[in-house]
Structure 1
Amino acid sequence: MNMISDAFLPAVSSLGAVALALGIIIHYVSKKFHVEDDPTVKLVNGILPGVNCGACGFPSCGQFAEVLVETRNPAMTCPVGGADLAAKLGETLGMAMAEPKPQTAVVLCQGNNDVARQSAEYLGIQDCWAATQAFAGPKQCRYSCLGLGSCIAWCDFGAMRLENGLIVIDKDLCTGCAACIPACPTGVLVMQNKQAARYFIACNSHDKGAGTKKACDAGCIACQKCVKVCEDNAIVIDNFLARIVQDKCTACGKCIEVCPTKVNCIRLENDLNAVKQKQAS
């Protein structure tokens, strides 16, 4: 036993010496290249929401704070914090900050369980991505909201809920962070200006009219009636789906009056009561 201990003693001593030398080197390097934290970065980071949603273009609020303090770029905005946060950041940094344009997520689909036909009964994991791996999804329309709510888990603000097989967004709670957008496998979630009262096509189907009509009563069948009635040339048909050019739309409402779908696929996001009244009449 003593012979074995004596044999290993030099090796253990050598390893100990190497570890000590490395410790001294690391300590020296840390002191030599130590960078003092900018207290302004910590102050700015404390003002930010801290949700790390990425809506500002940076992966975290901490990185946004570092770049903002370093560059003093007044164009950098935090969509979640809005105008109030922009004012606080401006006061802290002593400059005028640009106000972010309020945005909200909208659902380009109205295919709830009452109007959308089912393709099969899905009994798997309640996850949209899992459903698309099994088959196109529980609804006949492969472009629709699958109604399993995968996007809800990505919303840190409680702005999304599942209602009758369709995602519903509470605009008062939506901060426009856009974290939900990549969570949807069919692409029915998009961002829109929160304050603009303009119409949009609440449909995502690119099937031909007959196929869309067969799958859903609320789908756009690309009949072109809305195109013909629009005096501002704000509506175009793109791959069997109508699309409203927001820069041209004046929200006159003529398009919604001629839409032949049973559940009007044209919606005015900021005045849903008016849309419902038009549908009822």
Structure 2
Amino acid sequence: MGINRFRDVRPGEIVFISKKGFETRKQLKSPGRAHCAFEWAYTASMDSKIDGLYVQDARNNLGKSLAERDSGEGGIQADVVAPVPMSGIGHALGYHMASGLPYQEVFLYNRYADRSYTQLTQEDRDRVAKKKLSVLEYAIRDKRIVLCDDSIVRGTQIRNKVRDLKNSGAKEVHVRIACPPLMYPCDFGISTRTYEELLARQYLSEGNITTMDELKALEVWVSEKIGADSVKYNSLEAFVASLKIPKEDLCLKCWDGNWPIAL
């Protein structure tokens, strides 16, 4: 369309665009910014730039953070790093860049399928997920795979992906998740509606994961639930550091339970 990027529309701003350019018609006052951090990890398009940060760069940084954690904890014996398409691609590429492991696509993605995450019922989520991805068996047979994804919500889909890879001949599947464990439903329109839908809440019924020891204990439990050889998440601190945006400018409510606005 011949459109050049100028700047983001500010929160609470109404702009008028014409042949003469654009002008701000209204700017609502706000006590502070609270941008949904989940956009950089999952919901935004990979070619987007939000608040000066390219989504692909953010996802690469999150993947690098996971690889650096693995390296700092003794390393991992694996043959390839692979994404769960599409949102896992940037995370897997970042892991590949930091670890040196070969990057390998292991799923064929049906670009015409809906997002399983946003379906209303588990039956619909399973139906869409089954249509969306099929295993590339030649790429995974007898391989130890680091599988990167953006988040674990209910756990059903990642469990199915691990099962499909192992049934197709993968020797090991090590799951690496860019986001910290989701502990709270979103009250601002994202699809997680109840505590019961969140896998991490089945492990910890109340409170938050606040230490690395607590995170590691959760990871062992999740790995058993989904059939993976290991699971690791970014901690909330590592997640925020990877975005390189001040914590006070982010909405992190689905991880720490803190509302970004006064009630």
* TM-score, normalization by structure 2: 0.30
Larger RCO (CA under 8 A, 6+ residues apart): 2
